[in-house]
A and B are shown apart, each in its own frame.
Chain A
Amino acid sequence: MNALIDIRDVHHAYATSSGPLPVLAGLDLSVREGGFTAVVGPSGCGKSTLTRLVAGLMIPDRGTVSLHGEPVTSPRSTVGMAFQNPVLLEWRTILQNVLLPLEIVPTRLSRSQQQERALSLLELVGLAGFEDKRPSELSGGMRQRASLCRALVHQPDVLILDEPFGALDAFTREDLWQIMHELKAREPFTGVLITHDLRESIFLADQVVVLSGRPARTQYVLDVPSDGPRDLDMLYTPESVEMLATLRREIQIAREGESADPAENARS
């Protein structure tokens, strides 16, 4: 089995004041080493719970989450995370922000090597010359780029992206998609991307997983034929249009399944 991330039949429920609220019910997901998987599904279906499971911030009620064939029981420093909110530390410069993980994760790099690595990442995402600025001096897209650098600086083998481009305008988002491809060509990570944007999912990922409505299970898996770097024209080929139509149909089914859920009707 060469899956780096392997999630098998995971069930999880949150304790709420009105009893347990199941969010995941039979989730399966497998990402090969070096793969990039996008997870799409209706709002509030448990996608963010999935990222917390992979990061080891939560243990599922049932089922297993494994990295490299080993069950995840606690956070591990070989994971990098970026969220919709770039959560940069306002009192640090951009460079100091990018270096933050190296202050926590044990590293073999010397101080100057750390700086060098951070600076080369910043250059790769187009932030050369901004390393001494504060986050408040940067635009939203630039902050998100810095946040990606921070997620990768300690050379994680798993990169978890929880809707990192959701709050950006359409053009900035497309710029960052390109940057993701450049990062992927240079950094050897395995990616999990949570997103609401179907175009984003097929442009970035080689596998798109559609989750059902809450409680989520794996409803559909789409393989995106990948042949190296992509450009935005790829989104307008007949194959892509067909993939998008398929995904949209699956999301529709997921949402209908959710509204037919008697528990959901009882709550609302």
Chain B
Amino acid sequence: MSRKLFVPLIAFAVFLALWELLVWANDWPNYKMASPTDLVPAFVKYWELFLSMGWQTLWRTVVGLLLAVVVGVLLGMVMGFSRTMRDALYPLLVGFNAVPKATVVPIVALLFVGAHDFNTVLIAFMISFFPIAVSVSIGLSTLEPEYRDILRSLGASQFTIFRKIALPKTLPEFFGALKVAVTLAFIGTNLMEIVSPHGRGLGALFDSAKTNSDYPLMFAVLIALAFLGIVLYYVVVALESIFAGWAERSPS
């Protein structure tokens, strides 16, 4: 257990040391590349802002993600159970996913002008539901027919088959997709926070740091975002080990 914590911490320390060394060796000024030691004053000076903006970013990302889970699972179920729906929806979804979300952000910002929370959640959702929908649909459509037959031959209903077999069997794929979706949702939230005027959240803090040429603060925001991303990722990992721990082979 302590080893599990110790190894990543060492890696993190090595990363910071290399970063510091790189800046120091090149003698870069902080407006070119801030070094880790430049970040400490930024965190100290603005810690209250980091907490409130970080919270803004976090809750909107989580809400967007929850929305992505609901819609993604529903879409995945529809496509997993019906071949026709799969044929119909796949090209649409792929096309939708291929559109860079940076181009959608200004459209959404204009469409629902002023609704900053809503817009941010919407972009976080739009960017992250695709992997969930795809993985759930693949998980369901690749269910071996024998699994179905075992229960169907006993007279089980479609719903029972879904609850007892299809759903648990798809969980590992679902959590795999959720890990990807978590980081994507952060990108979505920040895109909107940076672009929309009078935005809130870490993205807005980044944008105002840029306006004020406070370069160490910009880098500090990046680190704060990375931190939030790591926290949320490990929340998903914890949920996975609770609900789909059986899929993990014990090391032997």
Whether B149 contacts A55 by the Cβ 8 Å rule is: yes
Whether B168 contacts A91 by the Cβ 8 Å rule is: yes
Which residues from B are CB-within-8-Å of A52?
Answer: 149
Whether A56 contacts B164 by the Cβ 8 Å rule is: no
Q: State the CA gap A104–B153 with chains docked (Å).
A: 10
Whether B164 contacts A105 by the Cβ 8 Å rule is: no
Which of A26-34, A79-87, A208-216, A223-231 lies at the interface?
Answer: A79-87
Whether B153 contacts A74 by the Cβ 8 Å rule is: no
Whether A90 contacts B246 by the Cβ 8 Å rule is: yes
SS class, residues of chain B in contact with chain A: helix
Does A43 belong to the interface (CB within 8 Å)? no
Known: A81-B149, A83-B146. A75 touches B155 (CB 8 A): yes
Q: Within the complex, which residue of B153, B244, B246, B247 is in contact with A79, where a contact is CB–CB below 8 Å?
A: B153
Does A89 belong to the interface (CB within 8 Å)? yes
Would you list which residues of chain B between 118 and 146 have a CB under 8 Å from chain A? 144, 146
Whether B153 contacts A136 by the Cβ 8 Å rule is: no
Would you list which residues of chain A between 120 and 163 have a CB under 8 Å from chain B? 134, 136, 150, 154, 160
Which residues from B are CB-within-8-Å of A150?
Answer: 150
Would you list which residues of chain B between 212 and 252 have a CB under 8 Å from chain A? 244, 246-247, 249
Whether B154 contacts A101 by the Cβ 8 Å rule is: yes
Does B108 belong to the interface (CB within 8 Å)? no
Q: How far is the CB of B121 from chain A (nearest CB, A)?
A: 33
Does B210 belong to the interface (CB within 8 Å)? no
Q: State the CA gap A75–B149 with chains docked (Å).
A: 10
Which residues from B are CB-within-8-Å of A264?
Answer: none
Q: State the CA gap A60–B215 with chains docked (Å).
A: 75
Q: What is the size, in residues, of chain A's interface with B at 8 Å between Cβ atoms? A: 26
Q: How large is the interface on B (under 10, 10 to 19, 20 to 34, 35 or more residues)?
A: 20 to 34
Interface string of A36-80 (1 = CB under 8 A from B): 000000000000000010011100000000000000001111010
Closest Cβ neighbor of A93 among chain B residues: B246
Q: Within the complex, which residue of B146, B155, B168 is in contact with A77, where a contact is CB–CB below 8 Å?
A: B155
SS class, residues of chain A in contact with chain B: loop
Does B160 belong to the interface (CB within 8 Å)? yes
Does A169 belong to the interface (CB within 8 Å)? no
Known: A87-B146, A89-B168, A100-B164. A81 touches B153 (CB 8 A): yes
Does A233 belong to the interface (CB within 8 Å)? no
Q: How far is the CB of B139 from chain A (nearest CB, A)?
A: 13
Q: State the CA gap A87–B160 with chains docked (Å).
A: 17
Whether A104 contacts B147 by the Cβ 8 Å rule is: no
Which residues from B are CB-within-8-Å of A75?
Answer: 152-155
Q: How far is the CB of A86 from chain B (nearest CB, A)?
A: 9
Which residues from A are CB-within-8-Å of B147?
Answer: 87, 89
Q: How far is the CB of B154 from chain A (nearest CB, A)?
A: 5
Whether B155 contacts A74 by the Cβ 8 Å rule is: yes
Whether A81 contacts B164 by the Cβ 8 Å rule is: no
Whether A85 contacts B146 by the Cβ 8 Å rule is: yes
Would you list which residues of chain B between 145 and 191 have a CB under 8 Å from chain A? 146-147, 149-156, 160, 164-165, 168-169, 171
Q: State the CA gap A136–B160 with chains docked (Å).
A: 24
Whether A91 contacts B246 by the Cβ 8 Å rule is: yes
Which residues from B are CB-within-8-Å of A90?
Answer: 169, 246-247
Closest Cβ neighbor of A134 among chain B residues: B246
Whether B152 contacts A57 by the Cβ 8 Å rule is: yes
Q: Within the complex, which residue of B144, B153, B160, B165 is in contact with A57, where a contact is CB–CB below 8 Å?
A: B153
Q: How far is the CB of A91 from chain B (nearest CB, A)?
A: 4
Q: State the CA gap A79–B244 with chains docked (Å).
A: 31
Whether B152 contacts A89 by the Cβ 8 Å rule is: no
Whether B146 contacts A57 by the Cβ 8 Å rule is: no
Q: How far is the CB of A153 from chain B (nearest CB, A)?
A: 11
Known: A89-B168, A90-B247. A55 touches B144 (CB 8 A): no
Q: State the CA gap A154–B154 with chains docked (Å).
A: 10
Which are the 3 A-B pairs with shortest beta-carbon distances?
A91-B246, A55-B153, A87-B146
New A-B pairs, 10, CB < 8 Å, besides A83-B149, A91-B246: A57-B152, A75-B153, A75-B154, A79-B153, A81-B153, A87-B144, A87-B146, A100-B151, A154-B154, A160-B153
Q: What are 10 A-B pairs with beta-carbon distances under 8 A? A: A74-B155, A85-B144, A91-B247, A100-B150, A101-B154, A104-B151, A104-B155, A105-B154, A134-B246, A160-B153
